[in-house]
Amino acid sequence: MSSKIDDEMVAGALEYWRGVNLSALVQTLDAAGAELVENQKTSLQERRKLAEKTKAFRSVADEHKAAEFRPLLRAYQNEIDALTKRMKHAENSFLRVFQALGSAPDPAVFLAGLVDARRMQAEAEAR
């Protein structure tokens, strides 16, 4: 791959990256990341509570299990619903990044061209 770049390529890449608005994207991702961390903590706490409820259910006498089953089932369903909500949030965060960066031009090509141009300029000035 040639590291030569022309003005049209640079202008196109610049326009694309302006459209990405990387600083706003980073802020959005920062907020999403903080929410993901909080969701992880919440998920761990809820899983522990669910494990405690399951353990308590196992210790209930058989004749009382029917009455205790419905609340336990509801707790599992609530956890499944919460996991589904967190999964959708994580997937949407990923898709936002992918949509913003999916067709972005590779900056390595431009950076390599700029390095070559600066090197050639420095060599020309040294003569």
DSSP H helices in the chain: 7-20, 22-59, 62-101, 107-126
d(CA 53, CA 94): 34
Over the chain (127 residues), the average pLDDT of each successive run of 10 is 64 82 86 90 94 94 92 95 92 88 80 81 86
Burial class (CB in 10 A: 0-12, 13-18, 19+), 44: exposed
Predicted structure pTM score: 0.65
pLDDT at 101: 83
Residues shown for the chain: 127
The amino acid sitting at 39 is N
pLDDT at 43: 92
pLDDT at 41: 94
d(CA 95, CA 10): 26
